[in-house]
Amino acid sequence: MTRGFSGDVAGYYAKYRRGYPPQAVDALQEAFGLGAEDVVLDLGCGTGQLALPLAGRVRSVIGMDPEPDMLRLAGAAAAAQGVDNATWILGGDRDVPALRTLLGQDSLAMTVIGNAIHWMRHEELFHALVPLLRPGGGIAVVANGTPLWLQENSWSPPLRAGLERHFGTTLAASCGTLAQDRDRYRQALRAAGLTEIRETVVEYTDELTPEQIVGGVCSAVPADRLPAPADRPAFAEYVRRCLPADRETFTEDVRVAILTARV
């Protein structure tokens, strides 16, 4: 089942969603001893922000997502970057058991889920993944920073208030980034029989332009609520007016939390 991240929304996602710093990819590689013979699964891969940097560390990457447009753009990004060891598969968390046929005699060294687990039935998913993992392999749940409108800085609260007025809704979903979310995932990983559950945190500061903030917002709006192309300049101006007028760039402190567990 798709989640509305299709069409132009997927395009905004590919262009404006923040990627993953090299330190985060290093942490994933170290956690599971990833090497040149390994196969990894990026579940909910989006347009490849994590699958593509992982591809250079392993034999092959499987990127799986329920949105065809996301996979189309991931494939285009792979071609542009010369990545030829990534396979893109249409599917979601409920389709994971079917991967056994694709894997054949192989096992997964890691399944990584980056900012997508809030869409999934994670308890069932973790149980379904365990039989597909090699010894010493495991699952990584990555929270790639707080949504732009929920951050603790001077410009995020007015952005949130403006978006809530515009869309007539309350913006409270954390995308699985809150401490209580992470605790639930820890408990579910333990219940699925995984051990050595650890969290690694990578923190950095970034500067965003108004264009990047608008693009980030549009990357999270369901396709049926995204302003029509003719209305987007006015929407961009509206978002800009929600932000402090005396600044050209806006600082965000990004906290990448990497929860890992091994079989």
Instruction: Return the bridge partners of 43, or none.
Output: 64
pLDDT tens, 162-193?
A: 999 999 999 876 677 778 889 999 999 999 99
Q: What is the CATH number of the domain that holds 77?
A: 3.40.50.150
Residue 19 is predicted with a pLDDT of: 94
Looking at this protein, which amino acid is placed at residue 101? T
pLDDT at 172: 77
Q: Which residues pair with 204 in a beta bridge?
A: 254
The reply to whether 160 falls in a domain is: no
Number of domains in the chain: 1
Tens of pLDDT, residues 242-260: 999 989 999 999 999 999 9
In a domain, 27, yes or no: yes
Q: How confident is the model at residue 102 (pLDDT cuts 50, 70, 90)?
A: confident
Q: At residue 1, does pLDDT exceed 50?
A: no
Q: Phi-psi bin for 20: left (phi > 0), alpha (psi -120 to 50), beta?
A: beta
Among positive and negative, which fits the CA dihedral 148, 154, 157, 162? negative
| 242: in domain | no
Please check whether residue 243 lies inside any domain of the structure.
no
Asked whether residue 16 is domain-assigned, the answer is yes
Q: Mean pLDDT, to the nearest integer, of 75-95?
A: 97
For the purposes of burial, counting CB atoms within 10 Å of the CB of 91, is it exposed (0-12), middle (13-18) or buried (19 or more)? middle
Instruction: Give buried/exposed letters for 214-243 (b at 16+ CB in 10 A, else e).
Output: bbbbbbbbebeebbeeeeeeebbebbeebb
Tens-digit pLDDT profile for residues 36-57? 999 999 999 999 999 999 999 9
At 202, is the pLDDT very low, low, confident or very high (cuts 50, 70, 90)? very high
Q: The domain containing residue 142 runs over which residues?
A: 8-149+172-207+253-262
Q: What is the spatial distance between Cα 233 and Cα 236, in angstroms, rounded to a whole number? A: 5
> What are the Cα distances from residue 114, in Å, to 7, 19, 120, 171, 212?
21, 10, 12, 20, 20
Tell me: pLDDT of 219 over 50: yes
Q: Is residue 126 part of a domain?
A: yes
How much is the pTM? Answer: 0.93
Q: What percent of the chain has pLDDT over 90?
A: 86
Helix (H) or strand (E) run with residue 64 in it: strand 60-65
In a domain? residue 230:
no
Interval 105-125 mean pLDDT: 93
Q: How confident is the model at residue 5 (pLDDT cuts 50, 70, 90)?
A: confident
Structure tokens, 126: 């973790």
Res. 104: pLDDT tops 90: no
Q: Is the pLDDT of residue 230 over 90?
A: yes
- Three-class HEC string of 186-241: HHHHHHCCCEEEEEEEEEEEEEECHHHHHHHHHCCCCHHHCCCHHHHHHHHHHHHH
Q: Which residues of 158-174 are buried (b: 16+ CB within 10 A; e: fewer)?
A: ebbebbeeeeeeeeeee
Residue 2 has pLDDT above 70, yes or no: no
In the predicted model, is pLDDT for residue 196 greater than 70?
yes
Q: The sheet that has 39-43: what strands, in order across it?
A: 86-90, 60-65, 39-43, 108-114, 133-144, 250-262, 195-208
Q: Contact, 17 vs 85, CB < 8 A?
A: no
Mean pLDDT of 205-216: 97
Would you state the structure tokens that stand for residue 199, as one six-digit string?
A: 């969290």
227 in a domain, yes or no? no
Q: For residue 152, which of 240, 246, 255, 235 has the smallest C-alpha distance? A: 255
Percent of the chain past pLDDT 70, that is, above it, reads 98
Mean pLDDT over each residue of the chain, to the nearest integer: 94
